[in-house]
A = this chain, B = another copy of it.
Amino acid sequence: MNAIDELTESFSRLPGIGKKSAGRLVNFILKADKTYVNKFATQLSTLQDKIKPCSVCGTWTESDPCPICTDSLRDRSIICVVEQPQDVSTIESAHEFSGLFHVLGGVIAPLEGIGPDQLNIASLLQRIKDGSVKEIIIATNPTVEGDTTALYLQRIIQTAAPDVKVTRLASGLPVGGDLEYADKLTLARSFRGRTEV
């Protein structure tokens, strides 16, 4: 196995990249600017050392606590609970939410052996103990597992802190979408969650 095959193999281990695309990427790297390739390699090898989960909310960060947790301008009375660290940047890019985050690190999935104990739920309850948090927005994905996790969280938060409002992101037709292409479940949800005009 020569250097080309080795790098092809490594590229094809990336998600969504097959053997053929990997070969194409290696050919690009062979002809690419040396400075770029070296910077790329350094960024790759140092990423995991530089980026760690925030000790408060669990999102990926270079400084601990993360810039969101330490930002004094953000609304500390609302926490948005997400599945994965990358969900934080997705929500941040919408510029709609200005509260804090909490990353669960997954969802309850009994078939994959993931129960509530494997998720960062204890640290969430810890964060709402002092009474400063008024609302928790559960932003798990609108899937069976995401919904189950939302329900579980709602119950456990209600028990631990009855004054905290627990909400869930609206589920329905995507903006710019077309009724014709909406699946039955999404359509059903958009009826149930209809709002007054």
By a beta-carbon cutoff of 8 Å, the part of chain A in contact with chain B is 2-4, 6-7, 10-11, 13-16, 21, 23-30, 34, 36-48, 50-51, 60-62, 84-86, 89
Contact = CB atoms under 8 A, between A and B. Distances in A.
A50 B30 CA distance: 10
A41 B40 CA distance: 8
Contact of A34 (B6, B28, B38, B48): B48
A12 to B, nearest CB: 11
Given A4-B60, A50-B3, A62-B3, A37 B27 contact: no
Chain A contact residues: over half helix, strand or loop, or mixed? Answer: helix
A87 to B, nearest CB: 10
A45 B51 contact: no
Contacts of A37: 44-45, 47-48
A89 B23 CA distance: 10
Given A7-B43, A29-B48, 6 more contacts: A3-B47, A4-B51, A7-B44, A10-B40, A14-B28, A41-B42
